[in-house]
Structure 1
Amino acid sequence: MHIRIELDVLMAQRQIRLKDLAAQIGITEANLSKLKTQKAKAIRFSTLEKICEVLECQPGDILKYEMNSKKK
């Protein structure tokens, strides 16, 4: 199982830069970059809420669940 963060896809669709989104949601570019590049271990609900507000999306548009292709 794996949770993917598709922030880069939404940002491209909305034509918003990392710098601009970071400023609008009030976090550092470095922390937003970690989310965008799948390197974050967690995300605060308050941050997720702000991202959804700015990008006009739902949390499910950002977070995707992938099942492993291997069966046990």
Structure 2
Amino acid sequence: MIKCHLAKLMGEKKYKIIDVARATGLNRSTITLLYKESAQKVDLETIDKLCDLFGCQVGELLEKVE
């Protein structure tokens, strides 16, 4: 299973979903699915934009857990 740490990253910067959407140009529904960890698939462009926004590596955003 892949765990998404978007909610944690957003909490650290006190960002709301709309803040992330405006800063990245991503659709709010895409961010909401990642925030709630219910996304089934994610584009590489989405991951890239989120990593740029939060100044993190992919491994800090996504983690494989058993």
- TM-score relative to the length of structure 1: 0.84
Q: Larger helix proportion, structure 1 or 2?
A: 2
Q: Give distance in 2, aligned partners of 1:46 and 1:28.
A: 12
Match of 1:50 in 2: 49
Q: Give distance in 2, aligned partners of 1:60 and 1:29.
A: 22
Q: Give distance in 2, aligned partners of 1:14 and 1:57.
A: 13
Number of equivalenced pairs:
66
Q: Cα RMSD between the aligned structures? A: 0.9
- Structure of higher CA gyration radius: 1
4+ residue segments displaced more than 6 Å: none
Consecutive unaligned residues in structure 2, runs of 5 or more: none
Match of 1:35 in 2: 34
Q: Give distance in 2, aligned partners of 1:14 and 1:56.
A: 11
Consecutive unaligned residues in structure 1, runs of 5 or more: 68-72
- TM-score relative to the length of structure 2: 0.91
